[in-house]
């Protein structure tokens, strides 16, 4: 028993140090490169955003290494994504816990440059975190929730439209990642079921009925039935909707930290892909609503079948796609740059500042972050 306790303690210490280390090298180096390469953004924007794609994929490589070091295995089934990796696509995924984000990163990291040219639509509460700064520079979109009035929703959708035109279309982005349920299953399900009962809609247990606002705005802007004049060519249009379903063993979704510190004991996580041509998706509001609801009713049935049988489909072939070496090479890449920049950039800059000033700046930022975080959950209160 003592030996087991000692092994567990060593594991948690080593894994915790590695977890913090990858963040302490990846995030500062990414931000520093963006600052140093800022002139290139204006002189040669295409080259700048190609470099950004590799840097962003490297940061996500550090994240996927957290799961690889814990032996997390993803088993994939369904439609192949191989032929659409370089096309513009909207990826819709069910949302159960914070672990979903890491699972998406790990599943897509081996698939070419998808993660580098990806835009995430995420809750605005994350914008002040260290990864939030990376996302800001990369061009992700922060969606403010909750929107309790029509004017607030309209304002958010107008911001999204502007972001798609000025950021997404101009920075070589390809895939957009969205959680249409608008939050975790555990927190959304009670209200979602009340809404479904009131409007005579299907009562779902494994997923929530999707929200349509963001999805419709993205499709209207990037895949309209009529070609808008601001499209240079068809390569700027969205071509596909990818329906991604994540299934955890027994339907018990851990949070990200529990998954990352599971000591290699967490069973395989299953992922199922379905790919739809956007040309076959209804575009009017009623048609799109029914189409989306139908997909999530199907997703409910697939998950129910999985939880009862352990597979998504009777004849579903499962594959395991990994890039362990690539993930750890990215960690080494950032480590080498951190060593060089610490000597020749960070140290000279910090020598010009007093530790008291640095502490005051950090304290004010943490204070503002705490206030914003508390305000976020207060706004979500009924």
Q: Indicate the Cα dihedral angle 48, 114, 98, 94, nearest 10°.
A: 140
Closest CA to 79 of 264, 250, 243, 251: 243
* Predicted confidence band of residue 129 (pLDDT cuts 50, 70, 90): confident
* Predicted confidence band of residue 316 (pLDDT cuts 50, 70, 90): low
Q: What is the pLDDT of residue 232?
A: 55
pLDDT digits (tens, 9 = 90+) for 49-96: 999 999 999 999 999 999 999 999 999 999 999 999 999 999 999 999
Longest Cα–Cα distance of the chain, Å, equals 70
pLDDT digits (tens, 9 = 90+) for 151-186: 888 899 999 999 999 999 999 999 999 999 988 888
Compare 42 and 313 and report the one with higher pLDDT: 42
Query: Token pair for residue 247?
Result: 């299934």
Q: By three-state DSSP, how is residue 346 classified? A: helix
- The C-alpha atoms of residue 97 and residue 256 are separated, in whole angstroms, by 7
Q: By three-state DSSP, how is residue 335 classified? A: helix
CA distance to 190, 292, 372, 373, per residue, from 186 (Å): 8, 20, 23, 20
Q: What is the pLDDT of residue 248?
A: 94
pLDDT digits (tens, 9 = 90+) for 173-225: 999 999 999 888 888 888 888 988 898 888 999 999 999 889 999 999 998 87
Q: What is the pLDDT of residue 36?
A: 93
Do residues 271 and 178 lie in contact, with contact meaning Cβ atoms separated by under 8 Å?
A: no
* Predicted confidence band of residue 229 (pLDDT cuts 50, 70, 90): very low
- The C-alpha atoms of residue 21 and residue 33 are separated, in whole angstroms, by 18
Q: Is the pLDDT of residue 43 over 90?
A: yes
Q: Is the pLDDT of residue 375 over 80?
A: no
Query: Token pair for residue 31?
Result: 């931000």
Closest CA to 202 of 192, 191, 212, 211: 192
Domain coordinates of the chain in residue numbers? 2-351, 355-382
Question: What φ, ψ does residue 311 adopt, rounded to 5°?
Answer: -135, 155
Q: Enter the DSSP assignment of 319.
A: B
- The C-alpha atoms of residue 92 and residue 242 are separated, in whole angstroms, by 6
Q: What is the pLDDT of residue 233?
A: 57
């Amino acid at each position: 028993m003592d030996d087991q306790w000692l092994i567990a303690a060593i594991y948690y210490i080593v894994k915790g140090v590695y977890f913090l280390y990858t963040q302490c090298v990846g995030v500062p180096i990414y931000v520093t490169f963006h600052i140093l390469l800022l002139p290139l953004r204006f002189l040669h924007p295409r080259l700048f955003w190609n470099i950004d794609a590799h840097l962003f994929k490297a940061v996500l490589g550090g994240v996927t290494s957290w799961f690889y070091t814990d032996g997390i295995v993803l088993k994939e089934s369904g439609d192949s994504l191989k032929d659409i990796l370089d096309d513009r696509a909207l990826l819709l995924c069910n949302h159960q816990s914070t672990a979903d984000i890491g699972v998406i990163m790990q599943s897509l990291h081996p698939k070419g440059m998808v993660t580098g040219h990806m835009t995430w639509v995420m809750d605005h509460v994350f914008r002040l975190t260290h990864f939030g700064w990376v996302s800001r520079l990369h061009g992700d979109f922060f969606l403010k929730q909750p929107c309790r009035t029509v004017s607030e929703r309209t304002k958010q959708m107008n911001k999204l439209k502007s972001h798609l035109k000025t950021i997404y279309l101009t920075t070589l982005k390809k895939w957009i990642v969205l959680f249409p349920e608008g939050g975790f299953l555990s927190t959304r399900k009670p209200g979602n079921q009340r809404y479904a009962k009131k409007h005579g809609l299907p009562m779902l247990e494994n997923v929530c009925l999707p929200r349509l606002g963001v999805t419709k705005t993205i499709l209207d802007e990037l895949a309209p039935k009529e070609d808008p004049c601001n499209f240079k060519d068809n390569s700027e249009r969205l071509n596909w909707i990818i329906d991604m379903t994540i299934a955890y063993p027994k339907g018990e979704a851990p949070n990200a930290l529990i998954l990352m510190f599971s000591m290699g004991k967490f069973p395989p996580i299953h992922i199922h892909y379905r790919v739809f041509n956007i040309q076959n998706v209804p575009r009017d509001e009623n048609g799109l609503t029914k189409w989306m609801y139908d997909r999530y009713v199907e997703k409910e049935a697939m998950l129910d079948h999985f939880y009862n049988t352990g597979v998504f489909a009777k004849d579903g072939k499962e594959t395991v796609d990994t890039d362990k070496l690539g993930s750890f090479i990215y960690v080494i890449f950032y480590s080498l740059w951190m060593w060089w920049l610490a000597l020749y950039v960070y140290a000279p800059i910090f020598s010009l500042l007093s530790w008291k000033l640095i502490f005051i700046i950090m304290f004010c930022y943490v204070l503002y972050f705490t206030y914003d975080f508390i305000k976020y959950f207060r706004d979500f209160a009924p």
